[in-house]
Structure 1
Amino acid sequence: MNLISIADLSGEDILRLIQSAEAFRARRGRHGQPLEGKSLAMIFEKPSTRTRVSLEVAAWELGGHPLYLSANELQLGRGETIADTARVLSRYVHGITARVHSHGTVLQLAEHASVPVINALSDWEHPLQILADLQTMSQNFQALDGLQIGWIGDGNNVCNSLILASAILRMEITVASPPGYGPKAEILEEARALGGSPRVVEEPEEAAGGADVLVTDTWVSMGDEAEEAERLRVFGRYQINSQLMDLAGDGAIALHCLPAHRGQEITDEVMDGPRSRVFDEAENRMHTSKAVMAWLMGEKQNEK
C-alpha cells in the first residue's frame, strides 16, 4: 500500500493513524522500534524544514535508517527514469518518501516501486501535512465529524488534501479564495464523490463565520515565484487576523502548515496568540509520520 493521496485512506484508516500518532507522542522515547533494521529513502526535489526533519527523526526513533537523497545526488538529475529509480531503490530500502515538483513523479514512483511510497508533498496534494492537521484538530475537539473548517487563501496542494479529508471524515469546509485561485475542479468533484459538500466563496468573512478551525498557507508557494507581485496584490485581504478569528466560533483555533510569511497570510497577533495551534501542528508532523511509517513499512509489510 502507498500513501499518495489522503483519499487513499478511509475514515477508519485516518482515525487509526491519529490514534497511533497520539500514542507515539505520549510515549516518545519509550515506544518500540517497529522499523528496526529497515531503511527509508527520502527523495527531495524541493527544500524543506519540517518535512525533512520530522521524517528523519521519526524514522530514526522508530529504529529505522533514513537516507536523504536530493535530486542532485540521484541519477534522476542526469536523466535516469523515475521507473528505473523506483525499481533500484526497492532493492535497497523498505520505503520511499518523495517531496517533488510534479505529482506525476510520485505516481510513477508508486507504480514501479515494490515498497511503500509516501507522498511528502507534490504540486497536487500534501497528505502528511493534513494528517498532522487532523491530529491537531483531534487534540482540541471531541470529534472531527461535523467540524466547521474555514480555509483562507490559495486553493493549493494543502487545501486540496484538506478538502478531500473533510469529505472522508464528514467535516464541513468552506474555502475563501480570490477568483481564479480557488481549488481545482477535479478535487471538488472527487470530494463530492466521497460524500462531501465543499463550498468555495470569495469573501474571507464568509468562510470564517462560525468556523471551528481557520487554516491558511503562504500566498506564494514554491513554483509560484514568477507570480509573486500579482499574488501579493490579489491576496491582500485573505489574511487570518484577529478580526477574522473573532468571526469564528467559540474555541476556534488557527492553523498554518509553515513556513509563514508573518503579516501576509497570518498576523503575529494570531500566530503567537492563545488560539494558535501552529506549533503543535508542526510537532505533529513527526508523530503522524511515525504512525504512517509504522503502518506501511511495519505492519503492512509484515502482513505479506
Structure 2
Amino acid sequence: MENIFYGKSFLKEIDFTREELLYLIDFAAHLKELKQKNISHRYLEGKNIALLFEKTSTRTRAAFTTAAIDLGAHPEYLGKNDIQLGKKESVEDTAKVLGSMFDGIEYRGFSQKAVEALAEFSGVPVWNGLTDEWHPTQMLADFLTIKEHFGKLEGLTLAYVGDGRNNVAHSLLITSAILGVTISIVTPEELFPEKSLIDLADKCAKQSQAKILVTADIDQGVAGADIIYTDVWVSMGEEAGFKERIDLLLPYQVNQNLMAKTKKTDTIFLHCLPAFHDLATEVGEEIKEKYGLTEMEVTDEVFRSNQALQFQQAENRMHTIKAMMAATLGELFIPKV
C-alpha cells in the first residue's frame, strides 16, 4: 500500500484530515512503545536533516535532534547566525541549496510564508517547528498526551485559557475542531482570535461534530472541561507588552479556583512550556520586581499537582515528531487512512 504521507510537508494542521492526524498520533504511541522497549526503529537510516532555528528552543530542538538520531538520521543545527533567510539570501535560494544537500528540513521561526516557501522550493519534506501563526508539532504531542490519559479524543472538552491570539491558541482551535474535541478559547475580548480563524474552526467542527466557543466569560468557558490548557502571556518578541498583558490576563490565571470551576474531579492541566509558575527563572524574578507577581499564567500549586501532565506532554514532542518525520520521509508500510 502506498504511503500517503511520503514526501509531504507538515506546515499546518488544516492541511491534514482527521484520519491522517489520528494516524500520526497512534503511530507516535507505537514508536514510544518501541523506544521504551529499546527496539530499534531506524526508518531514516543515512538521511540528513537540517534544523533551522531563527527562534530559540529547548523542547523543539531536543525533540527533533533525538527523534532524528533514533530514526538513524543525522541532524544538523543551523541557528539564526547560520541562516540568512530573506536577509542576505532569499528563502527560495536557501531552500534550493538546502534541498540539494538535506533529505528533510525543520524550520522554527517567525514567518509562516518562509516555511511554506521552503516547502515549495526545496523539493524535500519541510516540518514547521513553530511560526507566529501555527505550532503543528506541538498539537500532535498535546493530543497524544490527552489520548494516553483518557483513552480517547472524541467527546472530550478542552478549555484554553490565556492569550487567544498566539500560535498555540490558533493551532488548538483548529486541531480540536478537526479531531472532534469540543474547545473553548477563554480570553479577554481584546485577545480573541481573528474572525477568519474562528470561521475556519466552525467549518471543521461541522464535519467532526465538535463545538466551538470563544468567550471572555471564565465560568462559561471552563465549565465541564476535561482539559485546561494555558501558555505564557507574552510570546517571543512581544516582551515590551508585559504590563498590558498582565493587566488583561491576571483574571485568567490558572489556579485551583479556576480548576474547580470545571465542576469535574478528573480535569487535567496542560502547558506547552516554558511556564512562569515560580521564581526559579531570571524572567520570574524580573516580573516580581517590576509587577509584584510571583506566579503568572499558572500557579505553582496547579503546576506541581497530580492533575498536571506537562512533562509527559513535553516528552511526547519527541515521539510525535519522530512519527511525523518517519511517515513523511521513511519507507513505511501505511494502510490507507
Same fold at TM > 0.5: yes
* Partner of residue 167, structure 1: 177
Aligned to 1:176: 186
% same residue: 41
> Partners of 1:77 and 1:188 in 2: how far apart?
31
Distance, in Å, in 2 between the alignment partners of 1:36 and 1:301 is 16
Q: Which residue type is aligned with residue 325 of structure 2?
A: M
Q: Deviation per CA, 1:38-92, whole angstroms, max 9, x where unpaired?
A: 0111110000000000110110111000111112112437510001111111101
Q: How far 1:132 sits from its partner (Å)?
A: 0.3
Superposed counterparts of 1:82-161, under 5 Å: 82-155=91-164, 156-161=166-171
Aligned residue for 1:276? 308
- Confirm or deny: 8 A CA contact 2:188 2:216 kept in the other structure: yes
TM-score by length of 1: 0.96
Kindly name which structure, 1 or 2, has the bigger radius of gyration based on alpha carbons.
Answer: 2
Tell me, in whole angstroms, the C-alpha distance in 1 between the residues paired with 2:169 and 2:155: 18
1:90 and 1:115 in contact (8 A); partners too? yes
Alignment of 1:19-98 (within 5 A): 19-28=26-35, 29-76=38-85, 78-98=87-107
Q: Which amino acid aligns with 2:34?
A: R
Measure the CA separation in 2 of the matches of 1:215 and 1:76: 33
1:11 to 8, 18, 41: 18
Aligned structure 1 segments of 4 or more residues deviating by more than 6 angstroms: none
Distance 1:90 1:276, change over 3 A: same
Query: Which among 192, 195, 198 is matched to residue 185 of structure 1?
Result: 195
**Distance in 1 of aligned mates of 2:333 and 2:94:** 21
The alpha carbon displacement at 1:107 in A equals 1.5
User: Which piece of structure 1 moves more, 272-281 or 223-232?
Assistant: 223-232
Q: Which runs of 5+ in 2 are unaligned?
A: 1-7, 278-294
Task: Check the 8 A contact 1:150/1:214 in 2, yes or no.
Answer: yes
In 2, Cα distance between equivalents of 1:167 and 1:107: 23
CA apart distance, 1:182: 1.7
The secondary structure found in structure 1 opposite 2:85 is: helix
Q: How far off its partner does 1:239 sit?
A: 1.2
Partner of 1:232: 246
Gaps of 5+ in 1: none
1:252 aligns with 2:267: yes
Secondary structure of 2:52's counterpart equals strand
TM-score normalised per structure 2: 0.86
Tell me: higher relative CO, structure 1 or 2? Use CA pairs within 8 A at least 6 residues apart. Answer: 2
Aligned-CA RMSD value: 1.6
Verify the 8 A CA contact 1:38 1:93 in the aligned structure 2.
Answer: yes
One-letter amino acid of the counterpart of residue 256, structure 2:
S
1:6 is aligned with what amino acid? E
Distance of 2:331 and 2:15 partners within structure 1: 17
